[in-house]
Amino acid sequence: MNLVEQLTSSVLCASRLLAVLIPARMASCLALRMALLLVSGVLAPAVLTAEGPQEPVPTLWNENAELPSGEGPVESTSPGREPAD
């Protein structure tokens, strides 16, 4: 069970407990239960799954090297010439 499911389950149990302890006729109980369900169902998953700005991952091992002459990256897959004898 992941964190969102655990949080939702806990809030549902708390709202059921409030319904037993406080008579259901009270409007404040109903409002509190709705607020708890809203927080667990909408806000908590949104906060837990929100991702902030991500920086690019450095990939030094697979970046192409620039030639000093400015001709561009070295092609490692191009066929090379055989040395002349």
Q: What is the DSSP string of 3-64?
A: HHHHHHHHHHHHHHHHHHHS-TT-HHHHHHHHHHHHIIIIIHHHHHH-----PPPP-GGGSP
> Looking at the domain assignment, is residue 36 inside a domain?
yes
Q: Over 60: is that where the pLDDT of 74 sits?
A: no
pLDDT category of residue 42 using cuts at 50, 70 and 90: confident
> Looking at the domain assignment, is residue 84 inside a domain?
no
pLDDT category of residue 23 using cuts at 50, 70 and 90: low
* Total domains, the chain: 1
> Looking at the domain assignment, is residue 64 inside a domain?
no
Domain extent for 13: 3-49
Euclidean distance between CA atoms 40 and 85, whole angstroms:
77
3-class DSSP state of 66:
strand
> Looking at the domain assignment, is residue 45 inside a domain?
yes
pTM score of the predicted model: 0.28
Whether residue 14 contacts residue 36, with contact meaning beta carbons closer than 8 Å, is answered with yes
pLDDT at 39 (0 to 100):
76
> Looking at the domain assignment, is residue 31 inside a domain?
yes
pLDDT at 33 (0 to 100):
79
